[in-house]
Amino acid sequence: MTNILQYDLPELTELLVSWGEPRFRVKQVWDWLYEKRVTQFDDMTNLPQNLRDHLNEEMTIGSLEQVVEQSSEDGTTKRLYKLDDGQLIESVLMPYDDHRRTACISSQAGCAMGCVFCATGQMGFARNLTSTEIFEQAYRFAQLLAEDGERLSNVVLMGMGEPFHNYDAVMEAIHRLINDLGIGARHITVSTVGLVPQIRRFADEGLQVSLAISLHKATDAERTPLMPINKRWNIMELMDACHEYVAKTNRRVTFEWAAIAGENDTPEEAQKLGRLLQGLNCHVNIIPLNPTGGYAGRPADPEAINNFIDILEQYSVSATVRVRRGIDIDAGCGQLKSKVIAPGDIA
């Protein structure tokens, strides 16, 4: 069986024409897939039965096998998918009050970057996802939302894996999110641990896609033990690339700060960060740490975080705290997989 989602419009046209179908059928199939977002070929009611049969014989709509789905009290939905080769990945759908519907998707099975606080980093690297595997995670949530007449509005590449370590597949998936699924480029965010050459390359793509950088510490001596990538590209090199990105794209860059009690939530830390970011067109997103099995850190308290934000303001650096979503369903990156794998290994 072939996953029909792997085809772009020219490829789907070539396929259906090779089956002897007239061209207007291509447009019909495409609309069922990308406008109406149906889950089965039998729902494509204006196609002749023989074409539906042919599609059913040879094609599937998607190839990700859903293994677990959990829903949180705050409306967050988290899914664990099994890939063709048995690897497991996670995606999360987060509804916000203002009608945003945001999918958080994975770019790799596991991750090679080894950040010590991260559940995915603690697993190690298995493999890169294909562009279709990346794209399909967003598509599947778009299908789910279509059942209620809703549309997926935002996509963040903040699930498992380092997107810039799988650069080409991620860029291809992003183009399809924009062109085929109709997600506005400004509503897509790529988050990176800080791979400097790829940040520079990304700045040259000419896309309006947002960039987030996982910083978490403001000095090399403190960042390296948490995030080993800092040995390869230190904070100065990272900041140079960020300045270049902002200058080239005229876009603001976001820094992510996983707030860890006593580690990076103190007034001194806020001052170091304020000095580092002063004058750069940026925003700091503070996310209280999600505790993971392999790391002893605890989330910072709201009071420390508010104080931290006030200090950054003195440096004219804007910062907000991001609400932790799906806390009751292990919605932190890599956490569902670690929980599912540990007791009975379903892979």
Residue 292 interacting entry, from ligand SAH, ligand SF4, none, C-beta within 5 to 8 Å by type? ligand SAH
Verify binding: residue 113, ligand SF4, rule CB under 6 A. Answer: yes
Residue 290 interacting entry, from ligand SF4, ligand SAH, none, C-beta within 5 to 8 Å by type? ligand SAH
| Total residues binding ligand SF4 (CB under 6 A) | 12
Least distance to ligand SF4 from the beta carbon of 246, Å?
Answer: 22
Verify binding: residue 111, ligand SF4, rule CB under 6 A. Answer: yes
Joined together, the tokens standing for residue 112 give 């090679």
Three-state secondary structure call for residue 102:
strand
Residue 341 exposure: Cα atoms within 13 Å on the Cβ side? 19
Of 73, 190, 92, 189, the residue nearest 144 (C-alpha): 92
| Active-site annotation holds for 172 | no
301 — phi, psi (to 5°)? -80, 155
| Choice from 105, 173, 193, 235 touching ligand SF4 (CB under 6 A) | 193
Catalytic, out of 111, 115, 242, 333: 333
Binding mask 262-301 for ligand SAH (x = CB under 6 A): -------------------------x-xx-x---------
Cβ contact 286:332 at 8 Å: no
232 — phi, psi (to 5°)? -80, -50
Cβ contact 215:256 at 8 Å: yes
Verify binding: residue 226, ligand SF4, rule CB under 6 A. Answer: no
Strands (E), 251-308: 253-259, 282-288
Q: Are strands 77-82 and 65-71 parallel, antiparallel or unpaired?
A: antiparallel
Q: Are strands 88-95 and 101-104 parallel, antiparallel or unpaired?
A: antiparallel
Of 60 and 254, CB closest to ligand SAH: 254
Interaction residues for ligand SAH, span 179-218 (CB under 6 A): 191-193, 214
Joined together, the tokens standing for residue 283 give 């925003």
| Active-site annotation holds for 242 | no
Of 30 and 125, CB closest to ligand SF4: 125
Verify binding: residue 321, ligand SAH, rule CB under 6 A. Answer: no
Least distance to ligand SAH from the beta carbon of 168, Å?
Answer: 16
To the nearest 10°, the Cα dihedral for 172, 141, 75, 81?
A: -80
Distance, in Å, from the CA atom of 290 to the CA atom of 28, rounded to the nearest integer, reads 45
**Which residues in this chain contact ligand SF4 in the complex, by CB under 6 A?**
111, 113-115, 118, 120-121, 161-162, 193, 214, 333
**Which residues in this chain contact ligand SAH in the complex, by CB under 6 A?**
115, 117-118, 158, 162, 191-193, 214, 256, 258, 287, 289-290, 292, 332-333
Active site residues: 90, 333
